[in-house]
Amino acid sequence: MAKRDLYEALARQLRADSIRCSTAAGSGHPTSSLSAADLMAVLLGGHLRYDWSEPSNPANDHLIFSKGHASPLNYALFRAAGAITDQELLTFRKFGSRLEGHPTPVVPWVDVATGSLGQGLPIAVGIALAGKRVLGAPYHVWTLTGDSELAEGSIWEGLDHAGHERLSNFTAIFDVNRLGQRGPTELEWNLDAYAARVSAFGCESIVVDGHDLTAIDAALERARRTERPTVIVAKTVKGRGVSFLEDKVGWHGKALDAEQARRALAEIGDVTSRTFPTLKPDPWQAPKRPAARRPEWRTYREPVATRKAYGEALAALGASRADVVVLDGEVSNSTHAEDFKKTAADRFFEMYIAEQQMVAAAVGMQVVGLVPFASTFAAFMTRAFDFIRMAAISRANIRLCGSHCGVSIGEDGPSQMALEDLAMMRAVHGSTVLYPCDANQTARLVGLMTDREGISYLRTTREKTPILYIDGLDDFHVGGSRIVRGGDTDDAVVVVAAGITVHEAIKAADELKGTITVRVIDAYSVKPIDAAALIDALRVSQGRVCVVEDHWPEGGLGDAVLAALAEAGVMQEVERFAHLAVRDMPGSGKPAELLDAAGISARHIADTVRELAGASRDRHR
CA atoms within 13 A on the CB side of 495: 39
Residue whose CB is less far from its own copies, 41 or 495: 495
> Strands 324-328 and 371-377, how do they pair?
parallel
Half-sphere exposure of 536 (CA within 13 A, CB side): 14
DSSP-based three-state secondary structure for 338: helix
Q: Closest approach of Cβ 556 to its own copies, in Å? A: 8
In whole angstroms, how far apart are CA 228 and each of 131, 145, 515, 539? 14, 19, 71, 65
Is there a catalytic annotation at residue 355?
yes
Cβ-based nearer residue to its own copies, 348 or 469: 348
Task: Tell me how far the alpha carbon of residue 451 is from its chain's centroid.
Answer: 16
CB burial string 467-500: b at 16+ within 10 A, e below: bbbeeeeeebebebbbbbbbeeeeebbbbbbbbb
Q: Closest CB to its own copies among 279 and 562?
A: 562
Task: With residue 477 as reference, give the H or E element that holds it.
Answer: none
Specify the residue, 242 or 598, whose C-beta has the smaller distance to its own copies: 598
- Minimum CB separation from its own copies for residue 148, in Å? 5
- Name the packing angle between helices 120-129 and 153-164 (round to 10°): 20
C-beta of 10 vs 117, nearer to its own copies: 117
**With respect to its own copies, which residue has the nearer C-beta, 335 or 465?**
335
Q: By C-beta, is 531 or 594 nearer to its own copies?
A: 594
The dihedrals phi and psi of 353, each to the nearest 5 degrees, come to: -85, 75
Can you list the positions of beta strands (E) in 486-524? 493-497, 518-522
* Shortest spacing between CB 180 and its own copies, in angstroms: 5
Distances (CA, A) of 267 to 76, 119, 245, 264, 271: 18, 34, 11, 5, 11
- Whose Cβ is closer to its own copies: residue 241's or residue 499's? 499
CB of 107 to its own copies, least distance (A): 11
- Of 108 and 553, the one with the shorter C-beta distance to its own copies is 553
> Smallest gap, in angstroms, from Cβ of residue 256 to its own copies?
15
For its own copies, the closer CB: 416 or 517: 416
Determine contact, residues 323/295, Cβ cutoff 8 Å.
Answer: no
Q: How far is the CB of 139 from its own copies (least distance, A)?
A: 25
Among 177, 184, 152, 175, CA closest to 250: 184
Closest CB 565 distance from its own copies, rounded Å: 8
| 3-class state of residue 567 by DSSP | helix
Task: Give the active site residue among 149, 355, 504, 549.
Answer: 355
In the complex, minimum distance from the CB of residue 241 to its own copies, in angstroms, rounded to a whole number: 24
Give, in order, the Cα–Cα distances in Å from 369 to each of 55, 127, 528: 13, 10, 25
Phi and psi (nearest 5°) for 482?
-140, 135
Alpha-carbon distances of 252 from 31, 249, 502, rounded to whole Å: 7, 7, 54
Residue 134 is classified by DSSP as I
Which of 479, 478, 524 is CA-nearest to residue 501?
A: 524
How far is residue 349's CA from residue 13's CA, in Å, rounded to a whole number?
A: 42
* Cβ atoms of residues 527 and 449 within 8 Å: no
- CA distances (Å), 366 to each of 131, 310, 371, 453, in order? 11, 20, 6, 11
Single out the residue of 202, 206, 215, 148 nearest to residue 173, CA to CA: 206
Local structure of 93: helix, strand or coil: coil
CB-wise, 200 or 286, nearer to its own copies? 200
Q: How many CB atoms lie within 10 A of CB 563?
A: 14
Q: How far is the CB of 190 from its own copies (least distance, A)?
A: 10
CB of 564 to its own copies, least distance (A): 10
Q: Of the candidates 548, 462, 547, which has an alpha carbon nearest to the alpha carbon of residue 501?
A: 548
Phi and psi torsions of 41, nearest 5°: -65, -45
Q: Compute the least distance from the CB of residue 420 to its own copies, in Å.
A: 4
User: CA geometry: angle at 262 spanning 257 and 148, to 5°?
Assistant: 55
Using omega within 30 degrees of 0 as the cis cutoff, is the peptide bond preceding 528 cis? yes
Active site residues: 355
